[in-house]
Structure 1
């Protein structure tokens, strides 16, 4: 027996859920070893197939209702992604008030919106951030109704902390409303998950939270443009590959794109009532494309 190859295949099989490995792991391993008795390393083709297969199984391809599983778990992950993005953005907002990266506070607070914004950024950033983190913990732990209440509070509390006049003039109004509002809709929708559809694993939920928070909090203003473009291309390639194996990722990304559309709609109540940026349609097109891709991949996921 090729012990080196077996050991490496066992490491690759860890991408599959533990229950699946217990039931079918030895059978799959026997087939893999029989086909490549003289190799010391798995072939790239086999490694790729195992990784994709593990993602598909984790996305519910072996459940009795794979389409329903992918759909309802996708809604749940979309809620987590929206909460994480809104919370991480609120943290960045609070850090800018406290004293963020050199030059950023003066640029944004002084040149764009005026010095008054320093007095509103901390409550607008810190209060939602604390509540949204609590919402994330509750949702991952399986307390959906508690999470819905906390997400609603994340939108209401910062508003109560300030006068109506301040809120009307605040260019950060979307932090108060759009993120928590969309999260509440997704959380309430996920509560309707049928009893025979399994819930999202906590490990998967926390992995998505970490990935979303990491990409949101990266200090992009300190990186050179070529590095940003290269990182964006690499990230896009990885996301598309993941989405082709796990349609739940596409559903979560579609929700984030919808949130970006909403956050591009601004008002300060003085110089303009509503404003839509010129690149907002791009986010709208991305959201539509991701929703279509998620629907198509979900149907394919059930047939393959």
Structure 2
């Protein structure tokens, strides 16, 4: 007869992939019951069988194993490795995006403050964050944590990267909660969605477990340098495009920049996918994940502009065009991602015996 403790442990093991459980579940259950002494013929063992639960250490051990198996560890199915590679690439690209934008924000601070005399006087800056100099002084240096988190991950130090990435995320949650509670109008839905997307990005760092493949340091550091070198194009576009300021800020705000960046990356992949780098099976799924997040941000931001700010028809049209382009790019990526997933099958040699 199955005891309550065994039932609870088997429920915990449902976190593991089905193929792994079919091979190892009975052995794991037997080992667990022996280790806790539940199979002994004593009064304490009988009480444990009826009322016991897996302790915290065992739960964490199973969670860690499930993460490694479902996100590309040793013994993982090919589809799990595909998911793991895609999530790791999402985390790297997301941190790269944050690191580059943080470098841009830090770099233009002297100019926006009017302290960099060789350049012309900056135009009026849109107010996106909390009001007041103390908040600006507190939040601008947080960009250094984003840069440090990306560099740590790029040099294969995922544990420090998680802590570094969590600092600006926690600060963002505090700031948005303050806005929602004390500022007129509260926090726009787009801002909350950005915070949630960033939260998902930090959680994606769990995919860098000890059995994950190493990050190609040179490739990602070069990508960061290239992004910083290309960033003046964004600054020039934000401040000097010959269109109304409202239209520039709407088209190149955070959701717009995400939509344009992912669209450009998706188009580049579709054009160059025959190359050696782009042939990696996880790239369509990676770009699809990013595309869906960017599409949600752009869609909610359009609703914000129309319902909260009474945006003009031109602003609505530009934002809708960005969303439409992204949707067109995501369609073939979804087909390629589904094809790559369908072509993978379980290789028995990959399951430890």
TM-score (norm 1): 0.52
Please identify the structure whose Cα radius of gyration is greater.
Answer: 2
Give the aligned length: 228
Aligned to 1:84: 96
Aligned to 1:74: 86
> Which structure features the higher share of helix residues?
1
Unmatched tracts of structure 1, length 5 or more: 1-59, 226-231
Unmatched tracts of structure 2, length 5 or more: 1-71, 242-263, 346-353
Find the residue that maps to 2:282 and give its secondary structure.
helix
Aligned to 1:258: 292
Aligned to 2:123: 106
Distance of 2:332 and 2:274 partners within structure 1: 16
Q: Greater relative contact order: 1 or 2 (C-alpha under 8 angstroms, separation 6 or more)?
A: 1
- RMSD, aligned CA: 5.1
Return closer, same or farther for 1:86/1:290 CA change in 2, 3 Å cut-off.
farther
Quote how far apart the aligned CAs of 1:191 are: 4.2
Q: 2:152 aligns with which of 138, 155, 158?
A: 138
Distance of 1:187 and 1:115 partners within structure 2: 26
Deviations 1:178-230 (A, max 9, x none): 55323113223x1468x4x6344334444554555555x251464899xxxxx
Distance of 2:236 and 2:88 partners within structure 1: 33
Distance of 2:285 and 2:228 partners within structure 1: 17
Aligned to 1:182: 200
Asked if the contact 1:94–1:122 (Cα under 8 Å) also holds between the matched residues in 2, the reply is no
Equivalence map 1:1-304=2 (5 Å): 68-99=80-111, 105-106=122-123, 109=125, 113=127, 119=133, 123-127=138-142, 129-158=143-172, 160=174, 163-164=178-179, 165=182, 168=186, 173=191, 177-178=195-196, 180-188=198-206, 190-191=207-208, 195=211, 198-210=213-225, 217-220=231-234, 222=236, 235=268, 239-242=272-275, 244-264=278-298, 265-266=300-301, 272=308, 277-278=319-320, 279-287=322-330, 289-297=332-340
Deviations 1:142-190 (A, max 9, x none): 34344333323222224546853469468994797255323113223x1
Return closer, same or farther for 1:187/1:97 CA change in 2, 3 Å cut-off.
same
Quote how far apart the aligned CAs of 1:136 are: 1.5
Find the residue that maps to 1:245 and give its secondary structure.
coil
Distance of 1:149 and 1:106 partners within structure 2: 36
Quote how far apart the aligned CAs of 1:81 are: 0.2
Distance of 1:211 and 1:70 partners within structure 2: 27
Distance of 1:245 and 1:160 partners within structure 2: 41
Quote how far apart the aligned CAs of 1:78 are: 1.4
Distance of 1:183 and 1:293 partners within structure 2: 23
Asked if the contact 2:288–2:330 (Cα under 8 Å) also holds between the matched residues in 1, the reply is yes
Distance of 1:184 and 1:259 partners within structure 2: 14
